[in-house]
Amino acid sequence: MNPQPQPVADDLAALDLTDPQTFLDVDLPAMWRRFRTEQPVFKHRVTDRGPAFWVISTYEDVVTLYRDNKRFTSERGNVLATLLQGEDSASRKMLAVTDGPRHREIRNLMLKSFSPRVLTPVVAGVHERTRALVAQALEHGELDFVTDVADHIPINTIGDLMDIPREDREQLVAWNTQTLSRHSADDSEMEEWMARNEILLYFSDLAAKRRRNPGDDVISALATATVDGEPLTEDEIVFNCYSLILGGDESSRMSSVGGLIALAEHPEQWRALKDGIVGVDSATEEVLRWTTPAMHFGRRALVDVPLRDKVVEAGDVVTLWNSSANFDEDVFADPYAFDLARTPNKHVAFGHGPHFCLGAFLGRVHVNAMLAALRTQVAAIGLQGPPKRLFSNFVHGYSGLPVALTAEPSAEGTAA
C-alpha cells in the first residue's frame, strides 16, 4: 500500500527528481504547481546519480523547447537517466535519439507503417480484442486490471504489426516494464539493464530471420529498407524495433489503467460517459492528459540559450516535464478537474515537435477502445485496494490494480 503523499518541502532545491522514490512520496500536483509558479526554469542540484540539470515545467516553455531542434539535441539521450550518464548507447541508431536529415529519413520510412491510413484496418481488431478481454474480465468479477486486461491489448496490436510470435509477447511485456521502470525500490538498476539487453538480443535474432525471409510486417520493412540506396544498419533495425515495442506498449497500458482509476474515483464523469453526455473521443484526450504516462523527455543544449531570467549553457541537460505542462493553469482551465468533455485539450502526452510520438495514433486507438468497451459492457467499477505504482521518475503508471467489474445485463456473455 502506498503511503499518503507528503507536502512539498519548503525549499524546492531539497527535492531530488533523479530519485524515483520522490514521485511516490511527494504531493506531485502541489510540487509542479510550485515549480511553475516559483521556479519555471529551475537548475536542479548535482546528485549522486549525475550532474546538475534544468527542470522546465510550464506548458509554454516545454512546447517551445520541443520545437527547437536547432539549439537542443536528442542525440545525447532523451530521458533523464541516460542523459545524466553522458549519452544513450542508441544515439544516432534509434529514431528517438537521432536528429537532422537521418531522423527525417528514418521517420518517413517508419511512418509508412504507422500512418492512420495504414493502421485503419487495425482499429477494428483493437476494438474487438478489447471487448473480448473486458468480457472475460467481467466473468471473473474481481481481477487485477493491469495483468488480466491492460497488459494484453497494446502488446498484441504491436505484436501483430511486427509479427512477433504470440508465445513471446508476455515476456516482452515483462521486459518492457523492467526497462522503463521498476516495481519497487527493491528491484535493481542492473535488472533494468539486463531487460533492455534481452529485448535487443531478441530483436537482433528476429531481424536476421526477417532479412532472410521478409514478410509484410514492420520488422521486415525495416530489415529490407534502404535510405539513399543503402540498407539500414543492424543497430538501426534492432534499436528501432526496441523503440517501437516500448512506445507501442507502455504508454497505452498505463493510460488505460490510469483512466480506469480516474473513472472509479470520479463517478459523475463515469456516468457522463455511460449516458453518452460526453463522447469517447474527447474522453480519450482527457485520459491521456490526466495520466501522462511519460512524465518527461530530455534534451541537451548545443549552444547557450536564454530562457526567462536564466541562461541554459551549451552542454547542459534540460528536462521537459509533460506531467507539469499538462496541468498548467495558463493553458488548461481548472486543470486538476478530470473533465471528459474538456475542449480544447492540446496536451503533450505524446511530446511535441519533430520528435512527436510516432505511435500517437495507435496510442489513441487503444485508449479509445478501452473506454468504448467499458462504457458499453461495464455497469460499475469498484477499486478493491490501492493501485500499486511503478517505481520510476519517467513512467507514471501501475504494476497492479485490484478491481471488481460489474457487467451490464445486456453485455453478459458477450466475448465476441
Domain ranges of the chain: 12-411
Q: Determine phi and psi for 386, rounding to 5 degrees.
A: -70, 140
Helix, strand, coil shares of the chain as percentages rounded to 5? 50, 15, 35
Instruction: Give the mean pLDDT per block of 10 residues along the chain (416 residues).
Output: 65 95 95 97 97 98 98 96 91 94 93 87 94 96 95 91 93 82 63 88 95 93 92 94 84 95 98 98 98 98 98 98 98 98 98 95 95 98 96 94 94 50
Q: Determine phi and psi for 77, rounding to 5 degrees.
A: 130, 155
HSE-CB at 186 with a 13 A cutoff on CA atoms is 1
Q: Which amino acid is at 374?
A: L
Q: What is the pLDDT of residue 2?
A: 45
Helix ranges, 266-279 (H): 267-274
The pLDDT tens digits of the residues spanning 105-161 come to 999 999 888 888 889 889 999 999 999 999 999 999 899 999 999 999 999 999 999
Q: What is the pLDDT of residue 247?
A: 79
User: 323: burial class by Cβ within 10 Å (0-12, 13-18, 19+)?
Assistant: buried
The pLDDT tens digits of the residues spanning 149-171 come to 999 999 999 999 999 999 999 99
What is the CATH class of 12-411?
A: mainly alpha
C-alpha cell recorded at residue 66: 520541443
Q: What is the pLDDT of residue 196?
A: 87
Omega of the bond prior to 344 within 30 degrees of 0, cis? yes
HSE-CB at 343 with a 13 A cutoff on CA atoms is 8
Q: What is the pLDDT of residue 416?
A: 41
